[in-house]
A = this chain, B = another copy of it.
């Protein structure tokens, strides 16, 4: 159980690009990073509006001179300081992820980046090589996968408790974009514009969360071919989509579906996962994440609760609140940030053995998401046709 004791040698000097006062995700980064003293927030270029960004940074407790106008200023100034930041989180619109990440890595700074990571697999490969060359970490904020019950599922699947995996039914839907975008905030508008969002809207915005979680729980599944049927119910979002269904055939015969939508009017349920094996199934939802429904065919339904001694060791090890007490999304983000910090710390001390056995959402996870999106778009553009996954 996590109790706040440092698992790295010293706190990391941390900065942010984006994530300012009007952003949707900035606080998720901060509350994930700061609760255990693993990171110290020292610098930022928080906002496209420089003055608002500086004001915001000062409100967060930063000194004014480390609140920068642009990420370029941040990199320039911080690399000149002996106490400059060594890791920076990127919480900006999608179209800037690549260039900011590249610039940070070029400057020798570790990166934590929002998803979807970049626009193309080519960019991912380039960045992966750059990071490797520089000996730097690129973490990706797949924030839900830090929950103890996700690790519980992964461990039980590995032990074969579901039997052979047959079916995967997954969804991440909500209704917050059921209406048009005429009066939408900037935080919504950039997401529906291909110039700023890239080749997808909901597939990248929420679908990549689902795809990554399934990879974590079911790493043995590899997609053989897929079909993506996408649509913009609100015309102005076209050619991007506010709804998509992706069918997947996995090598070995399993079948999967991912449904993503932001026009599921009134829906507050958000993510729902069903992993079905020949013996038993899991059902898990991020709206009640502390419970894992475990159904063995022919036996009473079981509900496993976080923090209970009967859980897998790894699940208990990352529990923060303990049984009976709800874990929130922030606790899950805190685990993700912790795992990335541990990776950075291992890099800093050259501990490659630790890194080989260490689990965190890194550049490969981000690249896998981008690759999945490319295949989805290729299928959708071919008229929702089956395409071989490559």
* A positions within 8 Å CB-CB of B: 1-6, 11, 21, 24, 26-28, 30-31, 34-37, 41, 56, 59-61, 162-163, 166-167, 169, 174-176, 178-179, 227, 229, 231, 233, 243, 245, 247, 253, 255, 257, 259, 261, 263-268, 270, 274, 276-281, 286-290, 294-305, 308-310, 320-331, 383-386
Secondary structure at the A interface, as helix, strand, loop or mixed, is loop
Q: Which residues of chain B are within 8 angstroms of A325 by Cβ–Cβ distance? A: 28, 286, 328-329
Report the minimal beta-carbon distance from A179 to chain B, rounded to whole angstroms.
7
Q: Which residues of chain B are within 8 angstroms of A305 by Cβ–Cβ distance? A: 268, 300-301
- Do A265 and B295 form a contact, CB below 8 Å, given A56-B5, A166-B233, A255-B231? yes
Expressed in whole angstroms, the Cα–Cα distance for A385 and B309 within the complex equals 40
**Number of copies of this protein chain within its complex:** 4
Report the minimal beta-carbon distance from A352 to chain B, rounded to whole angstroms.
25
Expressed in whole angstroms, the Cα–Cα distance for A330 and B326 within the complex equals 8
Q: Chain B CB within 10 Å — which of A27, A34, A259, A289 has the most? A: A27
Question: In this complex, what residue of B is CB-closest to A166?
Answer: B233
Report the minimal beta-carbon distance from A338 to chain B, rounded to whole angstroms.
12
Q: A6 touching B301 by the CB < 8 A rule?
A: no
Q: B298 touching A6 by the CB < 8 A rule?
A: no
Q: B320 touching A31 by the CB < 8 A rule?
A: yes
Q: B28 touching A278 by the CB < 8 A rule?
A: no
Q: Which residues of chain B are within 8 angstroms of A24 by Cβ–Cβ distance? A: 322
Q: B264 touching A276 by the CB < 8 A rule?
A: yes
From B163, B229, B320, B331, give the contact of A255 (CB < 8 A): B229
Q: A263 touching B329 by the CB < 8 A rule?
A: no
Q: Chain B CB within 10 Å — which of A176, A178, A266, A298 has the most? A: A266
Expressed in whole angstroms, the Cα–Cα distance for A163 and B180 within the complex equals 14
Q: Which residues of chain B are within 8 angstroms of A231 by Cβ–Cβ distance? A: 253, 255
From B2, B60, B263, B281, give the contact of A264 (CB < 8 A): B281
Q: A30 touching B59 by the CB < 8 A rule?
A: no
- Do A263 and B328 form a contact, CB below 8 Å, given A229-B247, A321-B28? no
Q: Which residues of chain B are within 8 angstroms of A321 by Cβ–Cβ distance? A: 28, 328-330
- A-B pairs with beta carbons under 8 Å apart, 19 shown: A4-B31, A5-B59, A11-B61, A30-B35, A169-B259, A176-B297, A176-B324, A178-B279, A231-B255, A261-B276, A263-B276, A265-B281, A266-B295, A267-B276, A287-B326, A288-B326, A299-B310, A300-B308, A301-B302
Report the minimal beta-carbon distance from A329 to chain B, rounded to whole angstroms.
4
Expressed in whole angstroms, the Cα–Cα distance for A321 and B29 within the complex equals 11
Expressed in whole angstroms, the Cα–Cα distance for A309 and B176 within the complex equals 12
Expressed in whole angstroms, the Cα–Cα distance for A328 and B326 within the complex equals 5
Question: In this complex, what residue of B is CB-closest to A279?
Answer: B265
Q: A263 touching B330 by the CB < 8 A rule?
A: no
